[in-house]
């Protein structure tokens, strides 16, 4: 936890923004793996609950009564049976005190609070739930069917939480730096282990283990695969082969639940082939252009589109694309190679606040998500502000099924060289990703030590 004044200040600001009613933050319950007493480890608290109440235990709910200016941490104290197996923990009252909350109560009091608010027709604010047990709890307390809860969630609360959590405080940036330090260890370990004959599972397992040994956990399941064209390729028992590329997308989460998210693509043999280097250099240039363009006031959608134009120009030089660049990008032809967006918000969640709906997180009243294939996967399009943390992750992928599909229908045939694309079906994919903090007049990569990504630096590190 941070100092309790942090949570007191955050809740006070939230009350000013939401103005009236009762706010309910549902913490997470234990999530069973394969039977009730075998839960996933470590326990992961809901991020917004953590942001305002800081308590890491399962089975808690935070209530902020704006009209009566009261705050209550609700939960049941654990009994002796749990203490025998899991050890003693702080009481709910103690956890409330640590977060600067004046009141605590047992879970049965939550029903009384909700029923009284409903009876008096007071506004009850809650965030869109993403766990089924929470949906059942809301159904029981408020009578709102799970299918209607997303639409019934408080827009006022969503917008207030997004506004507050989007701009990172100095102490949050310090936590993100700690996550980056662990991420550096994870990715440089992968670089040390990659060689022909080693399995993807082995490298991926070692990378994930580092996150667990230095922090709370991985910030998302580690992606490590020679099939870089698969966006979320889980490590398999496939053996690394000379001449191929291995893509590692991995991140750590600190004990205070702040994340890192980086991607590197490395040659299994330790040296890029000429064809690999040609594609890699395009992704490298796109990554660096995003660093040049990202600053307060700039729409990240525009940065994404500038990346797409650069990528198209460079792919035209290789003969993979053709025609007018503006027309090609307008038609979405670049999505053959980049079917995802340039980046997303990052913080306590690796896709920060994604459960609150990207319409409010990565977009706003000025700009809303595209419906075009590829561009529709852009999670962050709004204007950047000082204190935002976003990912910079361009990539180029050669997806055999997508090549076949577009070729069969003739989609964007005036901009794509399908004959040459056929020869790249065994290429895989390349992605370079870093986490950037928006500063006063630009941006910087988070992390004191930079994970090698320039081709020569990658080769030199692997060789050493």
Is the previous residue joined to 42 through a cis bond, with omega within 30 degrees of 0?
A: yes
Q: Whole-angstrom Cα distance, residue 137 to residue 142?
A: 8
The confidence band for 41, taking pLDDT boundaries of 50, 70 and 90, is confident
Contact assessment for residue 101 and residue 55, using Cβ atoms and an 8 Å cutoff = no
Q: Does residue 279 contact residue 430 with C-beta atoms inside 8 Å?
A: yes
CA distance 123 to 222: 41
- Let me know: does 229 contact 397? Beta carbons within 8 Å: yes
Q: What's the pLDDT score for residue 352? A: 97
Q: Are strands 70-75 and 32-35 parallel, antiparallel or unpaired?
A: unpaired
pLDDT score at 460:
98
What is the C-alpha to C-alpha distance for residues 56 and 257, in angstroms, rounded to an integer?
A: 10
For 297-309, the pLDDT digits (tens) are 999 999 999 999 9
Q: What is the pTM of this model?
A: 0.95
How many Å apart are CA 52 and CA 96, to the nearest integer? 11
The predicted pLDDT at position 109 comes to 96
Q: Is residue 81 over pLDDT 90?
A: no
Q: Which segment of 76-85, 398-407, 442-451 scores lowest on mean pLDDT?
A: 76-85
SS3 call for 73: strand
Q: Please tell me the predicted confidence (pLDDT) of residue 394.
A: 98
Going by pLDDT thresholds of 50, 70 and 90, the confidence category of residue 150 is very high
* Contact indicator for 350, 251 with CB cutoff of 8 Å: yes
Q: Where do the CATH 3.40.350.10 domains begin and end in the chain? A: 4-166
pLDDT digits (tens, 9 = 90+) for 397-420: 999 999 999 999 999 999 999 999
- Identify the three-state secondary structure at position 56: coil
Helices marked H in 318-369: 325-331, 358-361
Reported as type and span, the H/E element at residue 38 is strand 38-39
**Average pLDDT for 329-353:** 98
Domain with CATH 3.90.230.10 in the chain: 170-463
User: Strand ranges (DSSP E) for 271-420?
Assistant: 389-392, 395-397
170-463 to CATH, choices 3.40.50.1100, 2.60.40.10, 3.10.129.10, 3.90.230.10: 3.90.230.10
Say which CATH architecture domain 4-166 belongs to.
3-Layer(aba) Sandwich (3.40)
415: nearest Cα among 304, 310, 315: 315
Residue 60 β-bridge partners: 75
Cβ–Cβ < 8 Å for 337, 373: no
For 106, counting Cβ atoms within 10 Å of its Cβ (0-12 exposed, 13-18 middle, 19+ buried), the class is: exposed
- Between vectors from CA 459 to CA 443 and to CA 336, what angle results, nearest 5°? 65
At 86-135, the pLDDT tens digits run 888 899 999 999 999 999 999 999 999 999 999 999 999 999 999 999 99
Confidence band of 85 (pLDDT split at 50, 70, 90): confident
pLDDT > 70: what percent of the chain?
Answer: 100
Mean of pLDDT over the chain = 97
pLDDT greater than 90 at residue 38: no
What is the band of 72 on the pLDDT scale with cuts at 50, 70, 90? very high
Spatial separation of the C-alpha atoms in residues 350 and 352, rounded to whole Å = 5
For residue 79, the model assigns a pLDDT of 87
**Complete DSSP assignment for 225-262:** ES-TTSTT----SPBP-TT-EEEEEE-EE-TT--B--E
Comparing CA positions, the residue from 272, 187, 265 lying closest to residue 229 is 265
| Dihedral angle over CA of 47, 53, 59, 65, nearest 10 | -110
Q: Any alpha helices (H) in 41-154, and if so which ranges? A: 47-53, 80-86, 92-98, 108-119, 132-142, 149-152
What DSSP character marks residue 243? T
- If DSSP codes are grouped into helix, strand and coil, which group holds residue 144? coil
Note the pLDDT of residue 148. Answer: 97
- Residue 36 pLDDT greater than 90, yes or no: no
């Amino acid at each position: 936890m941070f100092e309790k004044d942090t949570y007191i200040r955050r809740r006070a600001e939230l009350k000013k923004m939401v103005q009236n009613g009762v706010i309910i933050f549902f913490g997470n319950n234990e999530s069973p793996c394969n039977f009730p007493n075998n839960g996933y480890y470590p326990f992961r608290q809901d991020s917004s609950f953590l942001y305002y109440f800081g308590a890491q235990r399962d089975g808690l709910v935070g209530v902020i009564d704006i009209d009566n200016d009261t705050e209550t941490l609700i939960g049941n104290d654990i009994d002796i049976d749990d203490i025998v197996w899991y050890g003693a923990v702080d009481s709910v009252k103690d956890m409330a005190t640590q977060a600067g909350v004046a009141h605590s109560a047992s879970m049965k009091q939550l029903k009384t609070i909700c029923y009284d608010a409903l009876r008096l027709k007071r506004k009850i604010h809650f965030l869109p739930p993403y766990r089924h047990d929470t949906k059942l709890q809301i159904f029981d307390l408020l009578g709102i069917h799970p299918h209607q809860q997303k639409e019934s969630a408080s827009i006022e609360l969503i917008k207030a939480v997004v506004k507050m959590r989007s701009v990172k405080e100095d102490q949050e940036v310090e936590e993100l730096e700690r996550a980056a330090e662990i991420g550096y260890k994870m990715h440089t370990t992968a670089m040390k282990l990659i060689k022909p004959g080693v399995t993807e599972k082995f490298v991926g397992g070692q990378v994930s283990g580092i996150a667990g040994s230095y922090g709370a956990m991985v910030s998302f399941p580690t992606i490590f695969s020679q099939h870089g064209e698969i966006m979320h390729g889980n490590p398999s028992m496939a053996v690394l082969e000379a001449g191929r590329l291995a893509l590692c997308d991995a991140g750590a989460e600190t004990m205070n639940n702040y994340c890192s998210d980086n991607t590197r693509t490395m040659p299994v043999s330790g040296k890029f082939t000429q064809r690999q280097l040609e594609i890699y250099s395009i992704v490298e240039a796109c990554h660096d252009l995003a660093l040049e363009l990202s600053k307060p006031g700039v729409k990240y959608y525009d940065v994404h589109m500038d990346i797409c134009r650069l990528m198209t120009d460079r792919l035209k030089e290789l003969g993979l694309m053709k025609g007018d660049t503006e027309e090609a990008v307008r038609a979405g032809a670049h999505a053959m190679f980049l079917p995802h967006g340039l980046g997303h918000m990052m913080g306590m969640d690796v896709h920060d606040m994604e459960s609150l709906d990207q319409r409010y997180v990565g977009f706003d009243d000025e700009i809303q998500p595209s419906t075009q294939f590829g561009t529709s996967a852009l999670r962050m399009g709004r204007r950047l502000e000082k204190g935002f943390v976003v990912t910079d992750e361009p990539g180029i992928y050669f997806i055999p099924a997508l090549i076949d599909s577009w070729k069969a229908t003739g989609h964007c045939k005036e901009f794509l060289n399908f004959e040459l694309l056929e020869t790249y079906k065994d290429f895989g994919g390349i992605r370079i990703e870093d986490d950037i903090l928006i500063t006063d007049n630009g941006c910087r990569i988070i992390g004191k030590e930079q994970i090698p990504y320039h081709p020569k630096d990658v080769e030199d590190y692997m060789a050493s």
